[in-house]
């Protein structure tokens, strides 16, 4: 039982810090549901294992108050004066309490941190900036919004964003918006995340420009990402390094998301090279 609670806590913290992109792989509610299910299963099993007379002698609230306050070791438990039925009930209450406490932690942290914690005026200004940058890549006026719930029929749905191919509106996940915000607003850059966020903004922009193929879109995004990164405040060398890292990471997606892997023509001098004169790539 303890292992499941520890596992849930470990998951919650990994999720909050988005360890290895966990947020977009596992929905948050799933482990909570599993943990609650385990607690209830254990309770039902323990309850059924009780002798019938013990079940009838279910504990009064006063028993739970007396013995529910602290963790008792098995041999410490005063077997004589507590109905056996108190133990599974107490465990269920503790389990449900742990699940509820972890849910409260997630709710509090999410409400006050990341993109949701940014001042609304600053969020609006940042989104206008993202839209300007995307419009530069597309070559006409487009709009970027930050909302993970933006799902529409007939759009290409990526893990980090959504865009209508050839359309005028794209959504980025709040987490990517926050990474871009930190780059623009605080000049904060942490290589992997910042590079990914730049690539995602460029990626959705290329969808808006009319490219549907995910691999081709990625290829163009890494190339546009160099200039985009510079406009967002990075120096040339850093912007280029981040996009090269993205290209390397892209090859590692062959197993989980092969449609995103760039085609073989995505190389210096290849058909997908946007700047044939330059020998830099991306």
Regarding 158 and contact with Zn ion (CB under 5 A), the answer is: yes
Task: Identify which of residues 259 and 279 has a Cβ nearer to Zn ion in the complex.
Answer: 259
Task: Give the contacts of 45 (CB within 8 A, at least 6 positions apart).
Answer: none
Regarding 160 and contact with Zn ion (CB under 5 A), the answer is: no
Dihedral of CA atoms 264, 268, 269, 272 in degrees, nearest 10, equals 50
Binding marks (x or -) toward Zn ion, 107..146, rule CB under 5 A?
Answer: ----------------------------------------
Judged by CB under 5 A, which stretch of 32-40, 90-98, 102-110, 212-220 contacts Zn ion?
Answer: 212-220
Residue 205 burial by Cβ neighbours in a 10 Å radius (0-12, 13-18, 19+) = buried
CB of 207 to Zn ion, least distance (A): 5
CB of 166 to Zn ion, least distance (A): 13
CB of 7 to Zn ion, least distance (A): 33
CB of 120 to Zn ion, least distance (A): 28
Report the distance separating Cα 166 and Cα 198, nearest Å: 20
Regarding 218 and contact with Zn ion (CB under 5 A), the answer is: no
- 236-251 vs 191-209: helix axis angle to the nearest 10? 80
Regarding 273 and contact with Zn ion (CB under 5 A), the answer is: no
The residues that touch Zn ion, with contacts defined as CB under 5 A, are 156, 158, 214
């Amino acid at each position: 039982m303890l292992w499941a609670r520890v596992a849930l806590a470990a998951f919650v913290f990994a999720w909050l810090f988005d360890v290895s992109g966990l947020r977009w792989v596992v929905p948050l509610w799933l482990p909570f549901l599993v943990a609650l299910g385990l607690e209830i299963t254990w309770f039902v099993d323990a309850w059924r294992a009780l002798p019938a007379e013990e079940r009838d002698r279910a504990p009064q609230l006063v028993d739970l108050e007396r013995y529910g306050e602290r963790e008792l070791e098995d041999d410490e438990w005063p077997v004589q004066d507590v109905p056996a039925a108190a133990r599974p009930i107490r465990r269920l209450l503790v389990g449900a309490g742990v699940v509820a406490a972890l849910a409260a932690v997630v709710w509090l942290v999410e409400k006050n941190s990341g993109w949701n914690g940014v001042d609304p005026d600053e969020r609006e200004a940042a989104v206008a900036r993202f839209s300007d940058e995307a419009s530069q890549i597309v070559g006409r006026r487009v709009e970027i919004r930050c909302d993970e719930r933006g799902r529409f029929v007939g759009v290409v749905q990526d893990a980090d964003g959504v865009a209508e191919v050839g359309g005028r509106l794209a959504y980025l996940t709040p987490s990517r918006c926050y990474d871009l915000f930190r780059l623009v607003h605080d000049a904060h850059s942490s290589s992997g995340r910042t590079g990914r966020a730049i690539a995602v903004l460029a990626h959705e922009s290329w969808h808006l420009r009319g490219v549907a193929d995910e691999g081709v879109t990625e290829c163009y995004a890494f190339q546009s990402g160099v200039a985009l990164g510079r406009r967002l405040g990075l120096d040339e060398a850093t912007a280029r390094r981040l996009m090269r890292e993205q290209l390397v990471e892209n090859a590692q997606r062959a197993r989980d998301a092969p449609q995103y892997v760039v085609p073989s023509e995505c190389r210096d001098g290849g058909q997908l090279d946007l700047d044939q004169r330059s020998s830099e790539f991306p």
